[in-house]
Chains A and B, each alone.
Chain A
Amino acid sequence: MKALIIDDSRAMRSILRRILGDAGFETHEAEDGQVALDLMNGGLAPDVCLIDWNMPVMDGYTFVTNVRDNQDWRDVTLMMVTTESDSNRIVRALAAGAHEYVIKPFTPDAILDKLQLLGLFTEVPA
């Protein structure tokens, strides 16, 4: 499974990279929505994108609408990971085509539980 982490914070990308890497994902990173779109236009085909909302250049909401406007990317799962917890923002993101919404701060289990719900991760019993 390939995951594209889209967040302007290197710290947050590092944390998500660790969580996803430990779960067996191949991770890729972008510092804003435009860089993420450029990567995908360049051939990167992520199974899931983890997307911050507030970023310079292109925010996460605009990225979601761009991805959903492109039929080639209809199978990409989109998961918002953001501090934006207003209900109207959550509704907007889901209406635009995001599948899941995680509010920062989060625990590794919260991320993995969402990925499991989306069928992208299966926890191996210890």
Chain B
Amino acid sequence: MSAVEAPELWDVLSIAGEVWTSFIGSDEPLVPAADEAFPVAWSGAVSVTGDWSGMVVVEMPEHCAVAATSRMLLIDEPTQADVSDAVGELVNMVGGNVKCLLFGDNSLSLPVVALGRVTPPGDAVEVCRADLQWSQGPLRITVHSVAHSGATS
């Protein structure tokens, strides 16, 4: 992929698909889905700062986050700490690969994981949104451009 000014949907779908296949499994692929509301139980966010500033957020309902953690760690009953860690690593991989698409010199923050939604800064502008579905439920990945990046939960 060549450097871009802002990630596009195709970029995010490609990155998410690769992360999913590598760590969750190739037998149940992640596919684009309709934009439908779901109860966000877990969110993970990473901030990108530098020549481009923004935030990448992954949101999942409870059962989806638990199932993804279970597949990722090969354990039947993940604890809340396991789920938090797995969601953090998923957004870290998605965000890290999004960052590498962007022009310029940029740094990636450590992931922030929240029960419920992570709230982007007030001046954040959504530049890309991927609504996705896998066998265990929906998830959403959004990329926000911000003047000064940061996340609050």
Question: For chain B, what secondary structure do more than half of its interface residues adopt (helix, strand, loop), or is it mixed?
Answer: helix
Q: Is there an interface contact between B73 and A54, defined as CB atoms closer than 8 Å?
A: no
Q: Is there an interface contact between B96 and A83, defined as CB atoms closer than 8 Å?
A: yes
* Residue tally, chain B, CB below 8 Å to A: 26
A8–B111 CA distance with the chains assembled, in angstroms: 10
Q: Which chain A residues have a beta carbon within 8 Å of chain B's beta carbons?
A: 8-12, 14-15, 18, 54-56, 82-86, 88, 104-107
Q: Is there an interface contact between A56 and B110, defined as CB atoms closer than 8 Å?
A: yes
Which of chain A's residues has its CB closest to B86's CB?
A11
From residue A35, how far is it (CB to closest CB) to chain B in Å? 16
Which of chain B's residues has its CB closest to A104's CB?
B93
Interface-lining segment among B17-25, B28-36, B117-125, B128-136 = B17-25
Kindly identify which residue among B22, B92, B100 contacts A85, using a CB–CB cutoff of 8 Å.
B100
B97 within 8 A of A: yes
Q: Is there an interface contact between A104 and B86, defined as CB atoms closer than 8 Å?
A: no
B143 within 8 A of A: no
A14–B19 CA distance with the chains assembled, in angstroms: 16
B72 within 8 A of A: yes
From residue B66, how far is it (CB to closest CB) to chain A in Å? 13
A10–B82 CA distance with the chains assembled, in angstroms: 8
Residues of B within 8 A of A82 (CB): 96
From residue A3, how far is it (CB to closest CB) to chain B in Å? 19
Would A107 and B22 be within 8 Å (CB), given that A11-B86, A56-B110 are in contact? yes
Q: Is there an interface contact between A54 and B108, defined as CB atoms closer than 8 Å?
A: yes
From residue B83, how far is it (CB to closest CB) to chain A in Å? 9
From residue A88, how far is it (CB to closest CB) to chain B in Å? 8
Would A11 and B73 be within 8 Å (CB), given that A54-B110, A83-B108, A85-B100 are in contact? yes
Which of chain B's residues has its CB closest to A88's CB?
B105
Residues of B within 8 A of A18 (CB): 74
B62 within 8 A of A: no
